[in-house]
Structure 1
Amino acid sequence: MLDALRAEIAALEAAAAPLEPDAERRRTLAADALDYAQGFLDALPGAPANRNWEGVRPLDGEFGDEGRDLAELIAYFHRAVAEPGITTTSPRFMGYVPGGGLFHSALADFLAAATNKYSGFASAAPGAVRLENATAAWIARVIGFPEGAAGTLTSGGSLANLTAIVAAREARDAEGGGAVYLTRFAHHCIDKGLNIAGRGRAPRRLIPTDSQHRMDIGALAEALEKDRASGIRPWLVVASAGTVDTGSVDPLAGIAALCARHGAWFHVDGAYGGLFMLCEEGKAALYGLDAADSVALDPHKTLFLPYGTGAVVVRDGRHLLHAFSASADYIQPLGETGVGPSPADLSPELTRHFRALRLWLPLQAAGVAAFRAAQSEKIGLARYFHARLAALDGWEVGGPPDLSIVAFRFRPGRGNTDAFNDRLLRRIQEEGRLFLSGTRIDGAPWLRCAILSFRTHLAHIDDAIDVLVRTAAALQSEGRLSAQ
C-alpha cells in the first residue's frame, strides 16, 4: 500500500513539474518577457495615448489543462491588455495622475516576487520590514513630520485614507458622535472610508470653497464654533493637498491652527499632491502640511511608481499601533529583530506585497535629486501650459495652478459652450494621440490637463496645445457648416 502511495505521489510530482522551470528555461522566459517590455517602452514616444477596445477578447480555450507557449501568451497580452484603453505610461497621457511606472520599480517587483518575502511580519523577513519602515520614515521626513511619526505603505490612496480615518476614530472619536468637516471637492474615497469605519452617519459639514476651489477658512471657523456652541464635538477635518478636479491646495496652515484650537484631528488627503513636498515649489504650495495629524499619499502618482503604491503617515505613530496592532498564537514573534514595528501592526493588511522595494530601489539607483527635478519640471510644465492657453483667444482658465493640474475650457463664438466642451473632450479622446479627462465644476463641463508622468516634457505640452487648438478649430468649422 505504501509503495502504491509513493508511486502516486511521484506521478503527481512529475505532473506539477511545469511550475518549476529549470535554469535554462527561466533564462528563456525572462528574456522573452524583457524583450517585450523593451519593445513596448521603445514604442511609447510615438504610440497613441488612447486606443479603442477592439482587442479585448478572451483567449481561445482559456484556462485549459495544458500549458501554452509564452510567446503566444505575450502576443495575447499585447493585443488584449497592453494596447486597448488608455496608455498611462505615455508621455501624452495627461488625463489622470498616475506617474508613469518607473522601470526600476518593475525590476524591484520582479525581485520581490521571485524571493517572495513576507513583509508583514518583522521576524519573518527582518530585511524586508526594515525597508518598509525605512521608506515610510523617509516619506514622513519629506512631508516634515517629527521623530515619533510612523507610516505604512498601502495599495493606494483609498486604503491610506481609510487607515488614517480609523486611526483618527480610535484617537478622537471612539464612542462616535463627532462631526466631520470637508469640502465638495474632497475625493469620494473619503466617503467610502467613513462608511467602512462606521462613521458614514457622523454629522457632516460641507465647508464652502473660495474662487480657487480651496476650503474657505472663515467658513470652517464658523462651522467649528457653531458645533461647539451646540454641544457637537468637532472630530475630523479633511483637507486636500491637490484636489481631483483642479489640483487646488486647501489653506493647510490655517486649517491646522483651527484644528488645534478645537481639538479636531487634522487629516490631509495628499494622495495626489502631498509628495510634492520633495521639491521647493511643492513646499511653497503645501505650506502647513507638516502640521497635520495624518496624511494620505500616493507614491504611484507623485513619485512615478507603478499602480498599487500608496502610503499613510501619522504624526504620532502610536495612534497607528493602537488602531491596528493585533496578534494570534500562530504568529508569535520568532525573535527580536531590531528593525521596528511589523507593517501588519500599522495597517489593516496582514498578508501584503513587499511594496517598499519598488520605492527603495529607484530612490537608490536614480538618486533623490532626480525625483526632485522631475517634480519641479511637472509644476513648471503646468504653469507653462496655463500661461500659453490663457494667452490664446477663446480659452478660459482659472488662476495659476497650485501644483500640476490645470482645468480649462473653450468658449466658442456661437452655440452652447457646455455642449462644445463635451464634444471637444470626446473628439480628443477618440483620436487618441493625447489623453485628457473632464470634470464638472458647478455643473459645467471642464477639461483637465494633469501633468505627472516623468516622461512628459516641454515638447509634449506644446504638442498638447497644438492638438487642443486644432481640434477646437475643426469643431467650430463643422458647427458653421452644419448651421448653413
Structure 2
Amino acid sequence: TWAASPGANAVEVSLCAWLAAQTGLPSSAGGIFTSGGSMANLTALVMARDRKLGHDSATRARGVVYISDQTHFCIKKGLNILGFFPEQIRVLPSDAMGRMKVPELREAIKNDVQELKLPFLVVATCGTTNTGSVDPLDEIADVAESYDMWMHVDGAYGASVALCQPRRHLVAGLARADSLAWDAHKWLFQTYGCGIVLARDKLHLKATFTTTADYIRDLDIQDERPNLLDYGMELTRPARHMKLWFTLQTLGLDTLSSMINQGFMASELFEQELRKMPTWEIMSSASLAILTFRYHPDFRSGDELDRLNESISSELLENNIAFIATTKLGGAVCLRACMINNMITDRDIREICIALDETAESLSSKV
C-alpha cells in the first residue's frame, strides 16, 4: 500500500508511466510489476474480460478470443484459469514469417458475429517465441476497433525494443494496445521476478481489481497516491521494479538501447555467416535477435534430418560450446538461436558457426 511503502510505490507508478510513454501509449496509461510475463498476461486477460463482457455469466459464455498458432501457451493457460472453454478460443494460422494472418482474423470474427457470439478479445504478439516475429499490430488494432474488441499485446519478449532507438520503429504498433505484457528479465537484462502489465487506461486496472475491505480504505486517498493492490491480483508484493529502476539510473537509456541493439546485430551477423555455408538452411531470417536454421545436407531428408539437428543441439550444449535449442517450423525440427546476450562478440559468432559445421559433419556419419 502507499501508506506502508510510499517510496517504493512512487517509483513503481513513475516507472510504469515512463515505460508506457516509451511505447507510445497515452498519458492515461499505467500499470504494475508482476512476477513475470505469464502473470502480466493473466492480469490483462482478467481486465479485458471484465471490461468487455462484464459479470453476467450468459454474456461471458458467448465471448470469443482470437489468438494465433504462435501465441505463447500461457495465454491459453490463463484463459483456462478464467473459465473459458476451448470452443471459445479461435487459433488462427500464421504466415511464413510467423505473424497472425489478419484476413483470417476478420473472417473468423465475421463468422462468429453471424452466429451471435461475442468477439471481445484479440491477443497479438510482439516477439514470438519461435521466430521473434511481430504481428501486424496496427492492422489488428484496426480490426479490433471496428468490432469494439480489446487488443492485448503479449510483448513479454519484444516490447523492450521500444527502448532501442535504432529499432523502435519495428514495434510502433504497441501504441495501439489496450493492454501490454512486458517481461524485463528477457531483454532488459533483469533477474527473475520483473514482469510488467500496462493498461492504456490505468483506471481499467483499478476498476477490475479494486477491493472493498474497510481496513484498507484509508489508503485510497487520491489518484497520485494509488494503492497498487487495487491494480492487480496480489496484495503483498515485493518491490520488483527497483532493480530495473536502478539499472536505468546506472546505465542510462542510451547504454541500454545499445545493449538491445547488439542483439540485433549479433543475429544478423550470425545469419550472414550461416548463409555462406552451403549445407545450412535459414528457416526464418533474424527477427528481434532470433534466428532459426537447420543443417540440411542433400543426402538427408525427413526424420533423419530431424534427429540430426536434435543431436547437433545436444552436442553443442554437452561440449559447452553454445546453447542453441530446437523448435519446429513447418513440421521440421530446426535450431533456434536467441542472441540477446550483449557480451557476445563477432569472433564468438564466427567460432560458433565453425563449431556448428564441424559438429554437424561429425554427427552426420553417426545418425
What is the TM-score of this pair, normalised by structure 1? 0.71
Give the partner amino acid of 2:25.
F
Give the partner amino acid of 1:463.
E
Mapped partners of 1:192, 1:281: distance in 2: 35
Mapped partners of 1:216, 1:160: distance in 2: 25
Alpha-carbon offset, residue 283 of structure 1: 2.0
Q: Which runs of 5+ in 1 are unaligned?
A: 1-120, 480-484
Matched, 1:170 2:44: no
Query: Using a 3 Å threshold, how does the CA distance of structure 1 residues 334 and 191 change in structure 2: closer, same or farther?
Result: closer
Alpha-carbon offset, residue 302 of structure 1: 1.4
1:44-99 per-residue CA deviation (whole Å, 9 max, x = no partner) reads xxxxxxxxxxxxxxxxxxxxxxxxxxxxxxxxxxxxxxxxxxxxxxxxxxxxxxxx
Alpha-carbon offset, residue 335 of structure 1: 8.4
Range moving further from structure 2, 421-430 or 245-254: 421-430
Residue number in structure 2 paired with 1:390: 275
Alpha-carbon offset, residue 279 of structure 1: 1.4
Mapped partners of 2:359, 2:102: distance in 1: 40
- The alignment partner of 1:428 has SS state of helix
Residue number in structure 2 paired with 1:69: none
Residue number in structure 1 paired with 2:158: 273
1:362-399 per-residue CA deviation (whole Å, 9 max, x = no partner) reads 11111111111111111111111112212211111134
Which residue, out of 311, 315, 325, partners 2:196? 311
Which residue, out of 216, 220, 237, partners 2:105? 220
Mapped partners of 1:282, 1:189: distance in 2: 27
Mapped partners of 1:307, 1:464: distance in 2: 28
Residue number in structure 2 paired with 1:373: 258
Residue number in structure 2 paired with 1:362: 247
Alpha-carbon offset, residue 201 of structure 1: 4.2
User: Percentage identity across aligned positions?
Assistant: 37
1:420-444 per-residue CA deviation (whole Å, 9 max, x = no partner) reads 1111112112212311111122332
Residue number in structure 1 paired with 2:16: 136
Number of residues paired by the alignment? 359
Range moving further from structure 2, 225-234 or 148-157: 225-234
Residue number in structure 2 paired with 1:443: 331
- The alignment partner of 2:135 has SS state of coil
Give the partner amino acid of 1:436.
I
Which residue, out of 474, 478, 481, partners 2:362? 474
Give the partner amino acid of 2:103.
G
Mapped partners of 1:235, 1:212: distance in 2: 26
- The alignment partner of 2:66 has SS state of strand
Higher percent of residues as strand: 2
Residue number in structure 2 paired with 1:462: 350
Mapped partners of 1:441, 1:291: distance in 2: 29
Q: Which runs of 5+ in 2 are unaligned?
A: none
**Which fold has the larger relative contact order, with Cα–Cα distance below 8 Å and residues 6 or more apart in sequence?**
1
Which residue, out of 148, 152, 176, partners 1:291? 176
Residues 79-478 of structure 1 correspond to what in structure 2 (within 5 A)?
121-174=1-54, 175=56, 176=60, 177-201=62-86, 203-333=88-218, 336=221, 339-415=224-300, 416-478=304-366
Asked whether the 8 Å contact 2:24–2:172 carries over to 1, the reply is no
- The alignment partner of 2:286 has SS state of coil
1:309-358 per-residue CA deviation (whole Å, 9 max, x = no partner) reads 10010101111001111142333436858753222111101111111210
Give the partner amino acid of 2:263.
K
1:86-116 per-residue CA deviation (whole Å, 9 max, x = no partner) reads xxxxxxxxxxxxxxxxxxxxxxxxxxxxxxx
Mapped partners of 2:279, 2:67: distance in 1: 34
Query: Using a 3 Å threshold, how does the CA distance of structure 1 residues 399 and 244 change in structure 2: closer, same or farther?
Result: closer
Mapped partners of 2:27, 2:220: distance in 1: 26
Give the partner amino acid of 1:256.
A
Asked whether the 8 Å contact 1:180–1:202 carries over to 2, the reply is no
